[in-house]
Amino acid sequence: MRAAIYTRVSTEEQAVHGYSLAEQRKACSERATELGAAEIIQFADEGVSGAALDRPGLTALREAVDSGMVNTVILRDPDRLSRRLSHQLLLSEEFEKAGVQLEFLDFEWKTTPEGRLFYSIKGAIAEYEREKIRERVTRGKLQKARQGGIPVNFDVYGYRYNPATGKVSLDEEEAAVVRKMFQWFISEDIGISRIASRLNEMQIPTRRRAGQWHRQVVRQVLVNPVFKGDWKYGKKDWHTGLSRSPESVITIPVPAIIDQTTWEMTQDKMHSIQRFSSKKGKHKYLLTGLLTCADCGNTMGGSYIRWWGKAARRYTCRRSGSASPNKGCSPSKAILADLLEGAIWSQVKLLLWDPVAVAREVAAKLPRRSDFQREVESINRRLSKLEKGKMALVDALAMGLLELDEQTEARLADLKRSVERLNDRKGELEALLAGAGDLSTEMNELYERAVSLLTRLDEMEFEDKRALVRAMVSQINVAGRHKKGEATKSMEGIAVSVYIKAEEPGPIPGHTNVSRQILS
C-alpha cells in the first residue's frame, strides 16, 4: 500500500494553537506504518490558509491521487484538508472516485450516511468559526479606518509608518522624488517610460534599495490618490472579492506630497494619452509571444516603427532601460513582420499538408458502426429488464400481493416512459446504421474534405491563424539581421529555428527535442 500524508498549518494557527508541520508529519507517518504502508509520500503547505484550494502541496497531492500514485491519504483532521465545507466535500468526493481512502487521526471517517452527515456538520462548524473570526477582525479594521486610523501596515513610497503609534509621516527624501515624477510628467513632453529611464540614469534608489524603476511602478505612483493626501481603504469586498462602490470606500487623510492642482493636471494628461492611444490603428502580429532573439536572449515583440526610412510592422528585441535590464541587440535589430510571418506561415502549412493524416484523425474521433451496434445491444438488454420488471408488477397485482394505488400507478407510468425513450433512441441508431456507408467510402469523403480545408488555410481569419500557429509552435529563435538595402526583399542574413510541439515529451515537456531550422 502506498500512503500519502498531507500536513498544513497557517502562520496564525502555529502561533495561537501550537500546531506544527513536524508534529502532524510524525503522527500521520505513524498511522501510515500501522496501516501497513510500504511507501509514504509527504505533501505539505506551510503558512497557507485553508480557505483556498490553490495550494502547492494540495495541488501536488491531487495530481498524485489522479495519477493513481497513492491508495490512502492520511491527515490529522478534516480542517487540514480545507477550512471550507464545500471544498472538503469536493475533495473527499474527488478522492473517493479515484478509489483512494481518507484516513483522519482526530476524526472517525465512515462512508455511511451518518458518517457523511457528521463530517459535513463538523466542516460547517469549522467554516462558521473561521468566517466569524474574519468578520470580527474585518469589522474592527473598518471601525478603526472610519475613525481615521491606519488598520493595516502602510508601506507606500514617500512615507514612513510607525506601527507603535499608528501614525504616518513623510519620508522627505522619497517625497522629493515623488514630486519630481509628477512635475516631469506635467511640465515636460515625456511619458511614463522616459520618467523611469531618467530615475535609473540619476541612480535614484527604489524603496527596497535594489533593482530598477519600471514604467508600471511609475504609472502606479502617478495614479495613486494617496500622494494628494487621500488613502483609500476597503476597495474590495472580502466576502465576494469584488470592488466596492466608491461611496463605500473609506478615505483616510494622510500627509499630502503634491497639491490638488498637480494631481488634476496629471490625471488630465493621463486620460488624454489613453484617448490618443485608443484612436491609433492597432497592428496585429501573428507571432506574438513566440519569438526569441538568439543573439541577445530577449523576447521579440511587435512594433510599428520606422527603419531605414520606411515605417512598417516589425519584430524587435530592443527594450527601454525601464522595461528590462537587457536592452537587446546593439545596433538595434528589427525584422520585417510580413517577411517573417510569411516564412513561418508557409512552414506551418507544409507541416499540416497531410490530408490522409487529417482524415484518419477525424475518422478516429467519429463514432463507428460497431459503437452504434453496441449501444443497440445495450438498449435491448435494458428493454428486456424493464419488461421483466413490468411483468413482475402485473403478476403481483394479479396475485393480490399489490394494490393498484397511486404509488403502483406511478411506477408503471415510469416504466412505460422509460420503454418509450429507449425505443426512440433505438430507432435513431437503427436509422444511422442503415445510412452508414462502408469504411472506404467514409474515408474517401473525409479525405476530400481534408484537402478542401487545407487548400483554404490562407482564407482563415487572423485570430484563427494565430491560434493554429500557437497550437503547433512552442518557440521561434531568430538570429542575424536584415542586410542594409535588402530589408524589404528577402530574409537574407537571418536564420530562424522553429520548435514544434510534440505529443511525446522531450527534455522540455510538450516540446520536441531538437529545433527545425527552416530558413538560413
Q: Among all residues, which ones are annotated catalytic?
A: 10
Give, in degrees to the nearest 5, the angle at Cα 9 between 8 and 10. 130
Among 328, 349, 375, 351, smallest CA distance to 478 is for 328
**259: amino acid identity, one letter:** D
Q: Is 2 helix (H, G, I), strand (E, B) or coil?
A: strand
Helices (H), 353-405: 355-365, 369-398
- Which grid coordinates belong to 40? 509514504
- Which grid coordinates belong to 316? 524587435
Query: Measuring CA to CA, how many Å separate 310 from each of 147, 304, 387?
Result: 61, 10, 81
Distance CA 333, CA 316 (A): 6
- Which grid coordinates belong to 32? 501510515
Distance CA 257, CA 229 (A): 7
Among 303, 312, 307, 310, smallest CA distance to 331 is for 307
Among 478, 470, 481, 472, smallest CA distance to 517 is for 478
Q: How far apart are the first and last CA of the chain?
A: 56
Distance CA 94, CA 53 (A): 13
Phi, psi for 508 (deg, rounded to 5): -100, 120
